[in-house]
């Protein structure tokens, strides 16, 4: 390690120690300090690790968490970064603060990486594998269009031609550019008997990358994911190395499915989480972890920050769900369609930089589907409550049952007074942060991110 | 029988990434309230022809660059019906890419140009250094409107008789220089306003009225 790197590491560790002891835990500040002193500090820190980079629009956090759980079954030292600290400085912080156990094994680093930071993180960590979840339209003011996002990820992958790419085989974009890397695809097995059809009209990324015809699908799971093929040329879904063969049960709280012949259970709902689990399964298998260990790990899975987090408020149960783009939102709406009991729907819409300053994406969400459900009250909160209230009005949600609570500090009281036991809270990123902070100040939940 | 208003949504499956589908949802909501059913047809690569005698409103939203280049190759077969529609003062709304297509051409950064429909005398220049992203506010003949813009295409009018939709008080609009937003020609509106623009009910009201007029004319009812 160079003297400069050594200084950067020491300063970073010192600031971590300080923050951890005198403040309530730091996230990216130690990394920021170390990175400022020496931008190559991550190279020294990550030198001994086998690194796996997890990226994509949706499912990064859950997939990373599941991979970590599976690797912990077999490896002594598994480092990861906190959700929300997925850029270079936050990742540097994670390395600075990791306390490794004595072990003969090489330590593993499983990193959730922001799409635009893949190249930078790859440059310093020499990853063994990339795990790609999906790419959907997401905060267009920040990320730009889906092809631009994939180009940013490719910039990183091209720096590591020896790394294996473990990609969602149901996403046509991951099959659109030839690379020297070994590709391993995972996906959902499909029934070829169905009559092929186009994706629903409001789906993005449906053009054939080779001949620009509109793709057809033998079957679809959600958004643009499915068994795609081009009716005009030979472009089609690749062979899958790992596949979900059956989805036997999906509730708002859990999912049961089979990967190949083995049954799995997750204590979290949503089709998209089955993809996340499958991505974790594929990664674990590529690194030689046994199926029985993977099964054990999935059973242990905790809910993570703002991802269907269950919060008890007196005798009520609130399910706090992060929504940040139309595809993720529509999957959550789909999940809540399975709710049989009456409930209260809460929305928190903010438009800070981290949420995306453009709120027009809510119009691509299928809020219309809520109109037929047993919703006894709608509570609209967040900085952009007016936009959301109008969106829900147009979706034909009952105006007379809609309550506007602009200020988040009054939201808890409104939920306590809500007419139903169950509440679903759909919130953008900074809304989740703000509301969780408020709840932890009140002692309703513990502080911290996980 | 409930009267049914028909909307032709140009390339709904390709030009759909900026939340502009909200404009159609809002129109549907207010037309439903006035007692009309609303049917939306996707007019796309596989649509043999655009028979505008069947429709009451043409909508054309914003899309991603790649999709837009594919649409640019296909759209010229709809030139006649769209041109006639616009000239006959039927209602149409084009947003972002859907607005740019009404002009003559789109000039790319490498000097190449994409031929647009050439229905109205204006053109667009892609200027990557001019990322126009953020909230906008502008004064229109219908009153003030607020929206969100996200574009690098700068639109310039080539005929002084062409009228903008509004005057900017916040944000950029057509380009960083003119201080104007969009265009209004007969009952065709072009705009960079996402948000969607029709959350501004003053503008929605204008379209609802024009759409119902067109419906009555099409179904030969006198009101």
Instruction: Give yes or no: residues A166 and A56 share one domain.
Output: yes
State which residues form the domain around B163. 4-221
Write out chain A residues lying below 8 Å of B66, CB-based.
145, 147, 207
Q: Can you give the pLDDT at residue A1?
A: 66
Number of domains in chain B: 1
Q: A247: domain CATH number?
A: 3.40.1190.10
Question: What SS3 state is found at A233?
Answer: coil
Q: B105: domain CATH number?
A: 3.40.50.880
Instruction: Give yes or no: residues A334 and A395 share one domain.
Output: yes
Put simply, whether B74 touches A (Cβ < 8 Å) is: no
CA atoms of A30 and A13, how far apart (whole Å): 7
State the distance between the two ends of chain B, measured CA to CA, in whole angstroms: 17
In a domain, A230, yes or no: no
Instruction: Give yes or no: residues A322 and A417 share one domain.
Output: yes
pLDDT (average), residues A151-161: 97
Segment holding A245, helix H or strand E = strand A242-250
Helix axes A271-286, A291-300, angle to 10 degrees: 140
CA atoms of A390 and B26, how far apart (whole Å): 9
Write out chain B residues lying below 8 Å of A359, CB-based.
148, 195
pLDDT level of residue B131 (50, 70, 90 thresholds): confident
pLDDT (average), residues B192-213: 98
pLDDT tens digits for range A367-378: 999 999 999 999
Contact A204/B64, CB-based, under 8 Å?
Answer: yes
Q: Can you give the pLDDT at residue A179?
A: 96
pLDDT (average), residues A181-204: 90
Instruction: Give yes or no: residues A130 and A36 share one domain.
Output: yes
Surface of B (88-147) touching A: CB under 8 A: 133-135
Q: Which residues contact A356 (CB under 8 A, 6 or more apart)?
A: A138, A139, A140, A141, A142, A324, A325, A428
% of chain A exceeding 70 in pLDDT = 93
Angle at B203 between CA B201 and CA B209, to 5 degrees: 95
Residues in chain B: 223
Of the residues A210, A358, A395, the best mutation for testing chain B's interface (the one with the most B CB atoms within 10 Å of its CB) is A358
User: Which among B29, B66, B133 has the least Cβ separation from residue A147?
Assistant: B66
- Known catalytic residues of B are 96, 194
The whole-angstrom distance between A274's CA and the closest CA on chain B is 26
CB-CB neighbours of B43 under 10 Å? 24
In a domain, A372, yes or no: yes
State which residues form the domain around A173. 3-189+240-300
Put simply, whether A197 touches B (Cβ < 8 Å) is: no
CA atoms of B134 and B151, how far apart (whole Å): 10
Whether A382 has a pLDDT exceeding 70, the answer reads yes
Q: Are strands A343-348 and A182-188 parallel, antiparallel or unpaired?
A: unpaired
How far, CA to CA in Å, does A294 sit from each of A54, A108, A262? 18, 16, 11
Question: What SS3 state is found at A376?
Answer: strand
Q: Report the residue of chain A nearest B64, measured CA to CA.
A: A145
Looking at A191-325, list the stretches that DSSP marks H as alpha helix, in order from N- to C-terminal side.
Answer: 271-286, 291-300
CA atoms of A146 and A140, how far apart (whole Å): 9
CB pairs under 8 A between A and B: 88
Cis (ω within 30 of 0) for the bond into B196?
Answer: yes
pLDDT level of residue A449 (50, 70, 90 thresholds): very low
Interface predicted TM-score (ipTM): 0.95
Instruction: Give yes or no: residues A343 and A259 share one domain.
Output: no
pLDDT (average), residues A55-61: 94
Question: What SS3 state is found at B56?
Answer: coil
Write out chain A residues lying below 8 Å of B196, CB-based.
360, 363
* Structural domain ending residue among the three candidates A248, A269, A300: A300
Instruction: Give yes or no: residues A118 and A253 share one domain.
Output: yes
Put simply, whether B6 touches A (Cβ < 8 Å) is: no
Q: Can you give the pLDDT at residue A17?
A: 62
CA atoms of B17 and A195, how far apart (whole Å): 27
Question: What SS3 state is found at A316?
Answer: strand
Whether A363 has a pLDDT exceeding 60, the answer reads yes
Instruction: Give yes or no: residues A327 and A425 share one domain.
Output: yes
pLDDT (average), residues A248-273: 91
Binding residues of A are: 208, 211, 230, 233
Whether B223 has a pLDDT exceeding 70, the answer reads no
User: Which among B16, B18, B42 has the least Cβ separation from residue A140?
Assistant: B18
Put simply, whether A366 touches B (Cβ < 8 Å) is: no
pLDDT level of residue A302 (50, 70, 90 thresholds): low
Residue B96 CA, distance from chain mean position: 7
User: Which among A147, A394, A396 has the least Cβ separation from residue B64?
Assistant: A147
pLDDT level of residue A304 (50, 70, 90 thresholds): low
pLDDT tens digits for range A407-436: 999 999 999 999 999 999 999 999 999 999
Q: Can you give the pLDDT at residue A377?
A: 97
Number of domains in chain A: 2
pLDDT (average), residues B40-64: 96
Q: What is the rounded average pLDDT for all residues in chain A?
A: 91
Q: Taken in order B122, B128, B133, B137, is the CA torsion positive or negative?
A: negative
Selecting among A141, A151, A358, A441, the annotated active-site residue is: A358
Q: Which residues contact B107 (CB under 8 A, 6 or more apart)?
A: B113, B123, B124, B125, B126
Contact A213/B45, CB-based, under 8 Å?
Answer: yes
Instruction: Give yes or no: residues A350 and A389 share one domain.
Output: yes
Binding residues of A for Zn(2+) are: 208, 211, 230, 233
Max Cα–Cα distance, chain A, nearest Å: 67
The whole-angstrom distance between B160's CA and the closest CA on chain A is 32
Binding residues of B are: 131
CA atoms of B185 and B89, how far apart (whole Å): 8
Instruction: Give yes or no: residues A42 and A122 share one domain.
Output: yes
Contact B135/A357, CB-based, under 8 Å?
Answer: yes
Put simply, whether A324 touches B (Cβ < 8 Å) is: no
Q: Report the residue of chain A nearest B24, measured CA to CA.
A: A363
Instruction: Give yes or no: residues A136 and A268 share one domain.
Output: yes
Instruction: Give yes or no: residues A33 and A94 share one domain.
Output: yes
How far, CA to CA in Å, does A19 sit from each of A15, A36, A93, A96, B195? 6, 18, 12, 13, 41
Instruction: Give yes or no: residues A271 and A323 share one domain.
Output: no
Put simply, whether B11 touches A (Cβ < 8 Å) is: no
Put simply, whether B151 touches A (Cβ < 8 Å) is: no
Whether A384 has a pLDDT exceeding 50, the answer reads yes
CA atoms of B185 and B85, how far apart (whole Å): 12
User: Which among A204, A212, A368 has the least Cβ separation from residue B17?
Assistant: A204
Q: A393: domain CATH number?
A: 3.90.190.20
Q: What token pair was written down for A394? A: 């147009």
| Upper half-sphere CA count for residue B171 (Cβ side, 13 Å) | 27
Contact B13/A213, CB-based, under 8 Å?
Answer: no
* Structural domain ending residue among the three candidates A255, A273, A300: A300
CA atoms of A16 and B33, how far apart (whole Å): 59
% of chain B exceeding 70 in pLDDT = 99
Residue A387 CA, distance from chain mean position: 25
Question: Is residue B109 a contact partner of residue B85, using CB atoms and an 8 Å limit?
Answer: no
């Amino acid at each position: 390690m160079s003297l400069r790197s050594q200084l950067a590491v020491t300063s970073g560790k010192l600031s971590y120690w300080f923050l951890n002891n005198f403040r309530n835990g730091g996230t990216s500040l130690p990394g920021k300090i170390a990175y400022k002193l020496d931008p190559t500090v991550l190279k020294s820190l990550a030198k001994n690790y086998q690194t796996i980079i997890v990226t994509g629009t949706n499912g990064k956090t859950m997939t990373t968490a599941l991979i970590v759980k599976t690797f912990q079954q077999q490896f002594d030292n598994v480092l990861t970064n906190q959700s929300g600290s997925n850029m270079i400085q936050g990742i540097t912080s994670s390395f600075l603060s990791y306390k490794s156990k004595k072990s003969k094994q090489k330590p593993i680093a499983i990193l959730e990486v922001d799409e635009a930071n893949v190249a930078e993180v790859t440059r310093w960590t020499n990853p063994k594998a990339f795990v790609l979840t999906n790419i959907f339209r997401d905060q267009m003011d920040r990320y730009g269009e889906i092809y631009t996002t994939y180009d940013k990820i490719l910039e990183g992958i091209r720096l590591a031609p020896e790394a294996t790419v473990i990609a969602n085989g149901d996403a046509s974009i991951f099959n659109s550019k030839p690379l020297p890397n070994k590709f391993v695809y995972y996906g959902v097995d499909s029934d070829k008997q169905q009559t092929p059809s186009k994706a629903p009209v409001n789906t993005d990324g449906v053009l054939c990358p080779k001949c620009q015809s509109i793709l057809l699908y033998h079957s679809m799971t959600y958004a643009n994911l499915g068994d795609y093929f081009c009716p005009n040329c030979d472009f089609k879904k690749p062979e899958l190395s790992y596949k979900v063969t059956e989805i036997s049960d999906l509730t708002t709280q859990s999912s049961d499915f089979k990967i190949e012949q083995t049954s799995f259970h997750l204590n979290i709902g949503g089709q998209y989480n089955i993809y996340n689990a499958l991505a974790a399964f594929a990664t674990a298998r590529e690194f030689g972890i046994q199926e029985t260990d993977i099964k054990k790990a999935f059973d242990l899975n905790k809910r993570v920050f703002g991802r269907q987090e269950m919060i008890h408020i007196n005798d009520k149960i609130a399910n706090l769900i992060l929504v940040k783009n139309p595809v993720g939102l529509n999957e959550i709406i789909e999940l809540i369609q399975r709710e049989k009991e009456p409930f209260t729907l809460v929305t928190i819409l903010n438009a800070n930089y981290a949420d995306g300053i453009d709120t027009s994406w809510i119009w691509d969400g299928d809020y219309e589907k809520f109109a037929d459900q047993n919703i006894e009250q709608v509570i609209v909160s967040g900085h952009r409550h007016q936009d959301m209230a109008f969106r829900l009005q147009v979706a034909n949600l009952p105006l007379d049952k809609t309550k506007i609570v602009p200020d988040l500090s009054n939201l808890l009281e409104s939920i306590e007074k809500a007419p139903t036991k169950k509440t679903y809270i759909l919130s953008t990123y900074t809304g989740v942060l703000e509301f969780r902070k408020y709840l932890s100040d009140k002692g309703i939940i513990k502080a911290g991110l996980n | 029988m409930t009267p049914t208003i028909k909307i032709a949504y140009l390339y709904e499956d390709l030009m759909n990434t900026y939340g502009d589908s909200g404009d159609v949802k809002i129109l549907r909501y207010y037309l439903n309230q006035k007692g009309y059913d609303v049917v939306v047809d996707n007019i796309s690569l596989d649509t043999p022809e655009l028979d505008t005698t069947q429709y009451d409103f043409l909508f054309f939203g914003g899309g991603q660059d790649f999709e837009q280049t594919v649409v640019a190759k296909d759209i010229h077969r709809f030139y006649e019906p769209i041109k006639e529609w616009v000239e006959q003062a039927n209602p149409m709304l084009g947003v972002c890419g859907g607005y740019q297509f009404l002009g003559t051409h789109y000039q790319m950064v490498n000097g190449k140009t994409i031929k647009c429909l050439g229905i109205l005398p204006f053109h667009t220049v892609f200027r990557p250094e001019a990322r126009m992203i953020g909230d906008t506010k502008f004064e229109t003949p219908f009153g003030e409107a607020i929206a969100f813009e996200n574009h690098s295409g700068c639109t310039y009018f080539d005929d002084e008789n062409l009228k903008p939709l509004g005057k900017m008080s916040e944000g950029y609009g057509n380009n960083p220089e003119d201080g104007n937003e969009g265009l209004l020609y007969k009952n065709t509106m072009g705009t960079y306003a996402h948000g969607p623009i029709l959350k501004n009910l003053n503008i929605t009201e204008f379209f609802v009225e024009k759409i119902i007029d067109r419906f009555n004319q099409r179904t030969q009812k006198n009101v």
